[in-house]
Amino acid sequence: MAAKLTTFSKFLITSAIVGAVGYGLYYVAKKTDLIPKKENSESLSDVGDAEVIKVGVVTWGGYVGGQYFNGGFKASKESRYYKDYGILVEFIVDDDFNSSREKWKAGKIDVLWTTIDAFPTEVVGLAEYEPKIIFQADWSRGGDAIVVRRGINSVGDLRGKKIAVAQGTPSNTFLLWLLEANDMTVNDVKIINVASAIDAANTFRTNNVDAAVVWSPDDKDCVEKVPGSKILVNTKTATNIIADVFFVKKKYLEKNEKALKALVEGWLKGAAEINSSEDIKKEAAKMLAKNLPGDFPEEFTLNAINNARLCTYGDNLNFFGLNDSYNGVTGEQLYTKMGAQYEKIGLAPASRPPYREIVYSGIIKQINLTGATHSAEGAAEFSKVTEEDKNKTAISSKKVSITFPTGSYKLDENAKYIIDISFLEIAKTFANARIRIEGNTDNTGNPEANRQLSLKRAQAVADYLIKEHGFDPNRFIIVGNGSDKPIADNATEEGRAKNRRTEFQLLN
């Protein structure tokens, strides 16, 4: 005999049915996006309820530290990010610059790449979102290059020539630095503006320009396709010019700082592991080949990783100016200098924010990674100068007038100041280039005495850079020309003044 349901039992059954139906409708709505997700959830660090941190990247080996730590590009609970930190990370590849920015604005990408040198050209357009740079991923170390046609052997040979370059991009930055190292500006060459470095390479291959600033591996392909052409210089020599960094919206940072710290810390751990082991680097290259869109062989992805310095925790301390003993290139120096350079040529507005407003070093300050693998990159070391080195063709030559007392080779404080403002930045940014210092005099006095004096003056300049700025003594090639290489008429005082010069030449 069936028992009769009480009023309370009916209530419980009805409640259960209504609850089940309600939950079903909510589940369907969530799955079909009828209920929008919060763009900036505060629950990113909650294991089991973690939303995905979406990182926007391009086809480039310098971001492999985070991708390797994630075990690929897709968000996964098998990732070390999830197992170690309780966060989920997805890498979204978009090689279209404008498209990636629109996705970032719309919240489809949370953390996005840029380079600190070119950021002044775009930061004003992002101002309403208050972008904050939170860490450095890499330095370009071969990823960017300038290819030239037959007969061009130095930056000076580019005078009056047509150069294909994507303006307002890292390629443009690289070209501006090269021109400055040779006492030149964009007014001394003919700029052919193209949309990207890929287009620059295509323009060069069709023989429409004399030179182009391109990416690897297009640099090698250009040399293979254009007879007599060559790579003039790349960022293996110009080591500290192009720095990839990542930025977020200020509001996203404020709501998700703990999760972003986990993202950066894991990324830096991955970079340190790859840097310290060739086997791990090969494993990372294999992961890239599997995950990058397109058919990329492991040889390509391994070369892509080798074309970057994967930045460690120590590198980030240096980059953000958090290491008082560091005297190399910082993010602030690059942003400030290139902002002024781009403003001169109309590519960066004067209204751009100062460095302190576009950077947040708080995440790096919260991280504490110890051990040799997390240390900053050491200074470049040079072997002893050979006869071949002495006779190499210079990439560039910068002429600086340094005044010495008559018959003396002692540097005074003013002379040191001139060296610092005229050449020190170039020496630091082209950190893998040898430097040939040539002393020159006018034709007044005994030729042999002038030659010896010019040699001592060139050595005095090198000694100053070694002692005061810590450069490797083996980096310098010292030459005393005396009055043998005038650049002006010794018959006039103005000409003689120009001939009394010191030349700083960069060599590959």
pLDDT of residue 9: 37
Where is 88: in which H helix or E strand?
strand 88-93
Give the pLDDT band (50/70/90) at residue 390: confident
pLDDT in tens, 334-383: 999 999 999 999 999 999 999 999 999 999 999 999 999 999 999 889 99
Q: Which residues contact 63 (CB under 8 A, 6 or more apart)?
A: 57, 91, 113, 137, 138, 244
Distance CA 464, CA 470 (A): 9
Is 144-234 in the same CATH topology as 52-140+243-374? yes
Q: φ and ψ at 224, to 5 degrees? A: -70, -35
* Number of neighbours of residue 86 by Cβ within 10 angstroms: 18
Q: For the chain, what is the largest distance between any 2 Cα atoms, rounded to a whole number of angstroms?
A: 131
Domain boundaries, the chain: 52-140+243-374, 144-234, 387-507
How distant is the alpha carbon of residue 42 from its chain centre?
31
2-47 pLDDT per residue, tens: 333 333 333 333 444 434 434 444 444 444 444 444 333 333 444 3
Helices (H), 72-217: 80, 97-106, 170-180, 197-205
Confirm or reject CATH 1.10.1040.10 for domain 144-234, answering yes or no.
no
Asked whether 212 and 149 are in contact (CB, 8 A), the reply is: no
Q: Given the DSSP bridges, would you call strands 88-93 and 52-57 parallel, antiparallel or unpaired?
A: parallel
Q: Is the pLDDT of residue 331 over 60?
A: yes
Confidence of residue 50 (pLDDT cuts 50, 70, 90): low
Cα gap 234→227, rounded to integer Å = 19
DSSP state string for 273-326 = HHHH-HHHHHHHHHHHHHHSSS---HHHHHHHHHTEEE--HHHHHHHTT--TT-
Strand spans (E) along 323-414? 396-400
**CATH number assigned to the domain covering 52-140+243-374:** 3.40.190.10
At 273 the pLDDT is 98
Task: Please check the confidence at residue 1 and state whether its pLDDT lies above 80.
Answer: no
Pick the CATH number of 387-507 from 3.30.950.10, 2.40.30.10, 3.30.1330.60, 2.40.340.10: 3.30.1330.60
Does residue 165 surpass a pLDDT of 90?
Answer: yes
Strand positions, DSSP E, 347-501: 396-400, 434-440, 476-482
β strands within 157-242, DSSP E: 162-165, 190-193, 211-215, 230-234
Q: What single-letter amino acid sits at 435?
A: I
Least confident of 5-14, 55-64, 296-305, 374-383: 5-14
Q: Which of 26-40, 104-118, 191-205, 297-311 has the lowest mean pLDDT?
A: 26-40
Q: What is the pLDDT of residue 494?
A: 85
Strands 111-115, 52-57: pairing kind: parallel
Beta bridge partners of residue 115, listed in sequence order = 244
Percent residues over pLDDT 70 in the chain: 90
User: Which residues, 6 or more positions from 358, have their beta carbon under 8 angstroms from its beta carbon?
Assistant: 119, 123, 131, 132, 133, 247, 335
